Amino acid sequence: MRAVELKLKQASAVLGVSPKDLQNLVQLKVLRPSRRDSVYRFDAALLLEAKLAFYLKESLGTSTEMLARFTEALSDTLRAQSPRKAQYIWLRSRPARGRETIEVRIPVRNLAKELEQQLPRALIHQDLPRGRKRPGWKREFRQTLQAAAGDLSGITKSQINAAIHGYRAQRDRLPEISVGRAKRQA
């Protein structure tokens, strides 16, 4: 993975989550980015940790405390080996009273590839201070609106509404849960 150092807003754009969601994980100590000049800095390894944390949160709906413990355990493994080499990482959790472990398989190579593909988004989402506008922002905004209007020519309002509804249905879909049965050993 490339060597990067992104601010929170840029990291959230790369991860495809809102800056507030990423900030919540930092404040709840699920993620521990370095801090310089009062700004959180996310490197490539921490971006992958964040991607895994959001993946676990989306898949399992775990509590913040458990998510922090899972992420901490995974970060040690990720720092020890390259995410490109390992296709899957298994996360095992044993209840306090010594019962059977629960095992979750995480597709770390696929998540690392996704993250690599999303890194160019950081260039689009420059982390500018609030209230300051770049020179020429009105012209850029007008050009973007004109290009969007051109792209939407010939599309009806009902088609736009159907696309929005489809996107929201996909986004709000619950995770799929399946059960596998272990073969008995003789």
Query: Is 182 inside a domain boundary?
Result: no
Residue 90 lies in a domain: yes
Dump pLDDT digits (tens) for 110-122: 888 888 888 888 8
So what's the pLDDT on residue 111? 87
Contact 56, 67 (CB under 8 A): yes
Asked whether residue 84 is domain-assigned, the answer is yes
Number of domains in the chain: 2
* pLDDT tens-place string over residues 74-123: 777 777 777 667 778 887 777 666 667 777 888 888 888 888 888 888 87
Nearest to 119 by CA among 39, 35, 48, 66: 48
Residue 179 lies in a domain: no
In this structure, the answer to whether residues 96 and 127 fall within a common structural domain is: yes
Question: What confidence tens digit (pLDDT) does each residue in 15-51 have?
Answer: 989 999 999 999 988 899 998 888 899 998 899 889 9
User: Residues 137, 127: one domain?
Assistant: no
- H-only helix segments in the chain: 8-15, 19-27, 44-60, 64-80, 108-118, 121-124, 137-151, 157-171
Q: In this structure, are 141 and 53 located in the same domain?
A: no
52 and 75 both lie in a single domain: yes
Verify that 123 and 159 share a domain, yes or no: no
- Indicate if 32 and 50 belong to the same structural domain: yes
Residue-range definition of the domain harbouring residue 137: 133-172
- Does residue 186 form part of some domain? no
Q: Is residue 167 domain-shared with residue 76, that is, in the same domain? A: no
Kindly state whether residues 99 and 18 are assigned to the same domain. yes
Inside any domain, residue 185: no
Whether 74 and 123 map to the same domain: the answer is: yes
Residues 86 and 148 in one domain: no
CA distance linking residue 117 with residue 136, whole number of Å: 29
Does 69 share its domain with 152? no
pTM score, two decimals?
0.57
Q: 22 and 58: one domain?
A: yes
Assess if residue 10 is contained within a domain. yes
